[in-house]
């Protein structure tokens, strides 16, 4: 007997490229496989769905022990170098070029693709309140601002994935 996944709920809590893209990639992959997908953006992950910020997401270079130059097989980038002015912009530019080569879309376009494919996109009410945001701050693809309880309710029977 096969236990095929039919529904995933993905929590995005980090606002960097390496925090937002895994959730988008997993949600897109789920929809391509016919799996119901819900994205729940909370804390700094919320920047992924803020219309004035989601096209400017950067990679975090400070405190990222996995950072390598110029690729995953390269030598480790000492954390202290991440603090050099412009290092985050440089790393973000490099990462964006690599994603472009793989035809991975920018965050706003990716959100639109997922939403158009039937994926649902939600914002965390506690974070929205804490950051003093309104519905007008979000991109058009955000379906609703939910409480954690509402998120759990709609996630019944889903695999919950925290990125």
pLDDT band, very low/low/confident/very high, at 2 (cuts 50, 70, 90): low
Mean per-residue pLDDT over the chain, rounded: 90
Q: Which domains does the chain have, with CATH numbers?
A: 1-55+106-163 (3.40.1260.10), 62-105 (no CATH)
Mean pLDDT of the 95-103 span: 88
Q: What is the pLDDT of residues 22-71, one digit of tens each?
A: 999 999 999 999 999 999 999 999 999 999 999 999 988 776 666 666 56
Residue 104 has pLDDT above 60, yes or no: yes
Q: What percentage of the chain has pLDDT greater than the value 90?
A: 71
pLDDT band, very low/low/confident/very high, at 3 (cuts 50, 70, 90): confident
Q: What is the pLDDT of residues 119-131, one digit of tens each?
A: 999 999 999 999 9
Distance from C-alpha of 141 to C-alpha of 51, rounded to nearest angstrom: 10
SS (H, E, C) the chain: CCCCCCEEEEEECCCCHHHHHHHHHHHHHHHHCCCEEEEEECHHHHHHHECCCCCCCCCCCCCCCCCEECCCCCEECCHHHHHCCCHHHHHHHHHHHHHHHCCCCCHHHHHHHHHHCCCEEEEEHHHHHHCCCCHHHECCCCCEEECHHHHHHHCCCCEEEEC
Residue 110 has pLDDT above 80, yes or no: yes
Question: What pLDDT shows up at residue 163?
Answer: 85
pLDDT band, very low/low/confident/very high, at 83 (cuts 50, 70, 90): confident
Question: What pLDDT shows up at residue 70?
Answer: 57
Reading phi first (left if > 0) and then psi (alpha if -120 to 50, else beta), residue 109 is in alpha
Asked if residues 22 and 54 have their Cβ atoms less than 8 Å apart, the reply is no
Closest CA to 146 of 120, 161, 124, 129: 124
Mean pLDDT of the 80-101 span: 81
Mean pLDDT of the 76-101 span: 79
């Amino acid at each position: 007997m096969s236990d095929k996944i039919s529904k995933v709920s993905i929590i995005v809590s980090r606002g960097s490229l390496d925090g937002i893209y895994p959730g988008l990639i997993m949600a897109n992959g789920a929809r391509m496989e016919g799996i119901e997908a819900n994205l729940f953006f909370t804390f700094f992950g919320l920047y992924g769905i803020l219309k004035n910020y989601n096209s400017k997401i950067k990679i975090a270079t400070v405190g990222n022990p996995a950072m390598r130059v110029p690729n995953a097989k390269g030598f480790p980038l000492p954390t202290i170098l991440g603090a050099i002015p412009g290092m985050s912009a440089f790393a973000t530019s490099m990462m964006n070029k690599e994603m472009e080569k793989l035809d991975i879309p920018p965050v706003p376009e990716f959100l639109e693709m997922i939403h158009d494919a039937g994926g649902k996109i939600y914002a965390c009410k506690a974070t929205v309140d804490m950051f003093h945001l309104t519905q007008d701050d979000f991109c058009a693809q955000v379906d609703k601002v939910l409480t954690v309880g509402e998120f759990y309710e709609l996630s019944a029977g889903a695999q919950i994935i925290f990125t």
